[in-house]
Structures are given as C-alpha cells and as structure tokens.
A and B are shown apart, each in its own frame.
Chain A
Amino acid sequence: MCRPPVTDALRRRAGLVLVATLLGAAAPADSPVAVPEPAGYWDGALQGYTPKTLAGATVIDAEALEALIGAGNTLLIDVSESDPTPRDLAPGRLWRPIHRAIPDSIWLPGAGSGTLSAQDAAALAERIETLTQGDRTRPVVTYCHPDCWGSWNLGKRLVTLGYRSVHWFPAGIEGWQEKHDTGAIRPDAAWTRALKTGGGP
C-alpha cells in the first residue's frame, strides 16, 4: 500500500501522472529510459524505473496474469512494503491501515530487498519452498507496484533458486485494479516471524 521511495522526488510526482496514464493500457510500465538488468540484485532505491526484461523469467501483463490465475495452481507473491506505524498515535485517532492486492496472494513485505542478509535469504527460500510444496515447475508471479524493483529482485531470486516458471508482473497492484477486483490481505505470518528472528532485511 505504501509505495517505496523514488530515486528522484520530482520524477515521482510526474511519475504518478505518467503511471496513471500508462495503466490505461494495462501494459508493463514503460520507462522513458532503457534500464539494463543489473548483474545481481538491485540494491538501490526500490522505487524507480525497472528493466523491461528479467532473464530466466517471463514478463507478463494483466491479461496474461488473468490467464495464469484462471489456469489455477499459480502462486502470487506481493512484495509491497507495509505502511509505517505512527510513533505516537493521538488518543482516539482512527488508524486502520489496509493493504489491497491481487486476491489470494501471499504478501511478503521486505522480500524484494536487494540486500537481504544470508539468514533472511535462507528463510525466504524456505518459505517459498513451503508455499510451492517444493515444486520448482509451479508457476509463480511476483509483483508490487509500478516502477518497483522489489518484485524484479524476488523474480530474479526465484530464478536463481531454480524455479522454472517465474513470472514478473511489473504493472503491479495498480495495473491489476484497473479492471479487476482486489482483496485485503495481511502479511504472511510465517515470513514475518522469520524476519523478526532474523533481525529483518
């Protein structure tokens, strides 16, 4: 729900308008600049223009995602950040954050980090292993918001882990909600526990 930061604030304001326009086409957010795939994970600001490709994975649009969901057995992973909780909430102030995503997704906030500790990376690999029941051929879709490196990073991580049907959906929640319903989801409890014990990304 809360978007990760941008590398350039001014671009972000313009980006909002740009993204809103682009979403009409429900296409992967087009970058005005050609962004090459980094050699490893992207460890800069998670919000920013992303590559058009992800080696070893398939880049999909909302229509392709709809087909994948229709086929069943597809694991959807949302790596959006969760909203920061106010440090001191005024008494009586209504604070009720909600995260709307593609229905039946697993929400793994922080899993898109490019700088996960070895311990957290292992916990993430284990969590995905459980979620896919060890089936490396199971279709997996990673997403967050438009212009989000987090879902690119996780897609790359899955490819590296040997998953063979990895799909990256760069249009993210905004691209999906154009034409489809969203559902409120909570962070995956097992992943949140693992991050807590591991000290967080």
Chain B
Amino acid sequence: MRMSHRAFAALAGLLLTGLAASGAARAAAGDDVAEREARWKDLRQSLFGDRAVETAKPLVRMDLPDRANDAALVPLTMTMTDKDRIKGLYLVIDDNPAPLAAHFTFGPAADPEELKLRIRVNTYSNIHAVAETQDGALIQTTQFVKASGGCSAPMGMTDDEAMKGMGDMRLKFAAPASGATDSGKPIAATLMIRHPNFTGLQMNQVSREYTPARYINRISVTYGTQNVFVMEGDISISANPVINFALRPAGKGPVTVVTQDNQGGRWERSFDVPAASH
C-alpha cells in the first residue's frame, strides 16, 4: 500500500512535470496564436464592422506553399465550393502593412470555382479568405504562410525598366481539350497585366529613396455586357499580376478588361473568346 502510494506519487510527479513543461510550451505558442487572433479581430472589425464572420463550413479552400521561395511571388489558389452561393471574396494578408490584398466581386458571367493569383507576403502571417454569400453572410478560411520580405523586395531592375510597357494586357484562354464538346463547360482564362505594382516599401538601389507606391487598385472584366468580376486591389498583389479565372460559357461578345491604378493610369483592352468546338 505504501509502495503503491509512493509509486503513485512518483508517477503523478512525472506527469505533473510533463504537464508543466508542455503547458509552458503551449503558453508561449498560445501567446502568438492569441496575438494573431487579436490582430485578425481588429482587421475584421475595420473591414466588416459588427457583421458576424462565420468560421464553420468554409466556402473557400486556399492552396499555397507552406514556405514560399520568393515572398514577392507567392502563388495562391482559391477553390470555391458551393460557388453559386458566392457573391464576393475578400483576401486579407493579416500582417502585410496594407492587409486587404484584394476584394473580388463576381458578376453573372463568372464561374468562381477557382481563382489563382500571386501575392506578396511581408512576414510569416495568417491569410484569410472571406467569402460573401448572395444572402450577405461572411464565411472565413484561414491559412498560415511562411514567407518574409515580399513587400520590400526590389524588382531587380530600374524603376523605368519595371514600368516599361505598363498596362499591356494579355488574356489567354485554355485550349479546349480535343474531343471536349461540352459547351456547358466553363472557359478557363489567364489574365496577365504588365505593371510593377510598386508597394512604396521598395527602396531604389541607386538613389536609396523609396519608389512611390503605384499599384493596380481596380481590374474589371466583362464578357459582352455582363460582369465577370471586379477586383479592387492593393500592394499585396505581385508585380506583373497574373490572374486565373473562369467564364460561364453562355456569354456573347468580347471579354473586356479595364485596369486602373492609384496614379490615375487606365488601360482597356478587348479580347475575342475562341469559339467553343461544339
């Protein structure tokens, strides 16, 4: 009886020591988690006021590398489940100085199942994608990304070189798979825009002064008379943006892209949609 008591005491001691140790480790991690959560709460209130942002049953899945090779060019894929419920999408990189990276509003010509773009990440950060549904609900998805220095990384060329051809746009449509005659299929498209998207945090290597911020703040894409999407953007979108999206196939007319930046730049170009092979 005594022995078992002592054994019990020893065992309890071991357990307590273990608990204390793991508890300490958790407390440290918990501080970080709590701090990041507080940051998000603050951003959430700035963006959405008192509107509830749900966490259950997220509508967006984010795929991005856990550890990005180039923090100024982090590829992000957002996959929307239940896409017909989604009216818009907010992309927030919590710890970037301008946290709201993009706000997409989808129009009737959009097939918002998948959206790909490349982002700048300034420091290890949570990324939040908040879907806004047709009935006005906000539903968030969270993903942590390890990348650092993306907003201040210079472009590796002079500012003039970086601005050469600014506003040039290309729109590539995915070639329909041979034999794929299903005209109901969405049309995948890749939009490429030449623009340095200067963050204002990049230092000119020669003058040692910061290059003034010059970033795309609005891209609108229409298919004939119908909206595909409008993206309000900021400095967290990588230089020379590339956006992959999809169109509903029922549209008529050309696809027109209008890009605007914060310095008054405006560029417009129309593209013909290849005829569906049906």
Q: Which residues of A contact B (CB under 8 A)?
A: 1-10, 12-13, 16-17, 20, 45, 83-84, 86-87, 90, 93-98, 100, 103, 145, 173-174, 177, 181-184
Query: Which residues of the partner chain A approach B153 to less than 8 Å between Cβ atoms?
Result: 3, 12-13, 16
> Which residues 67-93 of B sit at the A interface, judged by CB distance below 8 A?
67-72
Query: Which residues of the partner chain A approach B156 to less than 8 Å between Cβ atoms?
Result: 9-10, 12-13
Query: Which residues of the partner chain A approach B29 to less than 8 Å between Cβ atoms?
Result: 181
Task: Assess the A174–B70 pair: CB atoms within 8 A.
Answer: no
Q: Does B157 contact A (CB under 8 A)?
A: yes
Q: Which residues of B contact A (CB under 8 A)?
A: 28-29, 31-32, 35, 39, 42-43, 46-47, 67-72, 95, 97-100, 122-124, 146, 148-149, 151-157, 200-201, 203-205, 208, 210, 212-213, 217, 234, 262
Query: Which residues of the partner chain A approach B146 to less than 8 Å between Cβ atoms?
Result: 177
Query: Which residues of the partner chain B approach A98 to less than 8 Å between Cβ atoms?
Result: 39, 95, 97, 123
Other than the given A6-B205, A87-B212, A183-B32, 7 more pairs (CB < 8 A) read A3-B149, A13-B155, A96-B99, A98-B95, A98-B123, A174-B148, A183-B31
Query: Which residues of the partner chain A approach B124 to less than 8 Å between Cβ atoms?
Result: 100, 177, 182
Task: Assess the A100–B200 pair: CB atoms within 8 A.
Answer: no
Task: Known A84-B201, A84-B210, A94-B43; judge A184-B35 contact (CB<8 A).
Answer: yes
Query: Which residues of the partner chain A approach B35 to less than 8 Å between Cβ atoms?
Result: 183-184
Query: Which residues of the partner chain B approach A181 to less than 8 Å between Cβ atoms?
Result: 28-29, 31-32
With A and B bound together, what is the CA distance between A174 and B68 in angstroms?
13
Q: Nearest Cβ in chain A — how far from B153, in angstroms?
A: 6
Query: Which residues of the partner chain B approach A95 to less than 8 Å between Cβ atoms?
Result: 97-98
